[in-house]
Amino acid sequence: MKALFEEENRLQRFLDVEAALAEALAEVGEIPKQGASEIRRKAVVSVVTPDRVKERETRIHHDIMAMVEILAEECGKYGKYVHWGATSYDIVDTAWALLMRDGVSILEKRLRELRDVLCDLACDNRDLVMVGRTHGQHATPITFGFKMAVYAAEIRRDLERLGELKERLLVGKMSGAVGTMASQGERALEIERLVMRGLGIKPAVITTQIVCRDRIAEFVCWAAVTASSLDRISTEIRNLQRTEILEVAEGFEKSQVGSSTMPHKQNPVDCEKVSGLAKVMRGLVVPALENVPLWHERDLTDSSSERFVIPLTFVILDEMLLTLVKVLKNLRIFPENMKKNLEATKGAILTEAVMMALARKGMGRQKAHEVLRGVSARAFNEGVPLRDLLYKTPEVTAYLSKKEIEELTKPENYVGRVRELIDRAVRYARSV
């Protein structure tokens, strides 16, 4: 991913657009075919080098014109056909589309890998019962596979959103100074079509001097949403790795050091990195949105920030995805701690199960809720198992036998339709 946005590769993409323009012009008879061939031959970074362009730019203070001048000089008598009818951002924005197309392809691959790892964890742990938590408190039981299936479905939505927006994002332009195509003459629409066909992208339906920045803003907003999805998973792992919970933990290599002063520490540093980078990613949303409203047919206030925002969006999200996949592939799972935590409330997390059983037996839902609220409060205050008090509560035993109470207060018996829900989520997640 980083290589895509290196100076040399970005310059090569500018040159690719110049070459594609020359070939389109030759195809419609606007310039000689020999000229197009020579421009294509010289439009490479081994000839038009980054150093030469930078040196020229220091004198003329225009990066695209510096490249154009050097390419034209290298093409000799055919140099007069370089950049024919184009404005700088015909080249820049179309090159951005090529770079982003390659970057999106990498992100899609990474997201699919993450989705597959989550789906595998969901299927492998579908019956591993653990505490469900709301407000940081023990709620009712779930399974670890269920938790992973929820995340897999979310990553699928991130993939789906990317598939939708890339149709709007990956477009080029060859429409000239203010977007009217005046400089390319009668064949302008055909020239643009041929340029984009040669580069393998679509032309924007209409532009000003630039491709309108709502497209890039949408992508950066998507990246921030996706980064937040990754942050969500990482935050959960960090919480579950707390010493007093320790239901899962990042892998920890034999030679790895957790602290410079506390030899025992095994910190969730990779998940913390993902959460930290998510903060940066969300911060990129503001400049991307600020770049949408430009003066008239364009100003240059988007250019400087985009040289950071676009590459960083791709590079940071790529790093987050790579890191989280590594974490999940090496995740340590502690079933014995999950069992211990299930028992920490002495059965209180099963009050809903008993309440609904009483309601179905005829007590009524509201009355059952009030009875269980009182019993669970007593169990908490007295430090005794809920089950023991249920056995001694006449309102309960009038409806439920001891055997029924025993079965109702087993966590594994109150995980609902998790198997079916996991299967449904995995099918959904793998469908994109």
Tokens of 339: 């069992």
**What pLDDT is stored for residue 252 in this prediction?**
79
Q: Residue 62's pLDDT is what?
A: 96
* pTM for this predicted structure: 0.93
H or E segment at 248? strand 248-249
Q: Which residues are catalytic?
A: 135, 259
What sections of 348-430 are H helices per DSSP? 351-361, 365-382, 386-391, 394-397, 402-408, 418-429
Sign of CA dihedral 253, 258, 264, 265: negative
Cβ atoms within 10 A of the Cβ of 425, count? 24
pLDDT of 347: 92
* Domains located in the chain, CATH noted: 2-84 (1.10.275.10), 89-255+264-340 (1.20.200.10), 348-408 (1.10.40.30)
In the prediction, which pLDDT does 176 show? 96
For 127-194, give the DSSP string: T-EEEEEETTEEEEEEEHHHHHHHHHHHHHHHHHHHHHHHHHHSEE----SSSS-GGGGGGHHHHHHH
The letter for the amino acid at 207 is T
| pLDDT for the residue 203 | 97
pLDDT < 50 stretches in the chain: none
* pLDDT tens per residue, range 395-421: 999 999 999 999 999 999 999 999 999
Say how far apart CA 57 and CA 35 lie, in whole Å.
25
DSSP H or E segment with residue 249: strand 248-249
According to DSSP, the residues that pair with 133 across neighbouring strands are 138
Angle, helix 50-60 to helix 63-74, in steps of 10 degrees: 120
Q: Which two tokens stand for residue 6?
A: 């290196």
Q: Which of 51, 52, 50, 42 is nearest to 16 (CA)?
A: 42
Closest by CA position to 96, among listed 211, 217, 250: 211
Report strand pairing: 129-134 vs 137-143: antiparallel
How confident is the model at residue 256, as a pLDDT? Answer: 81
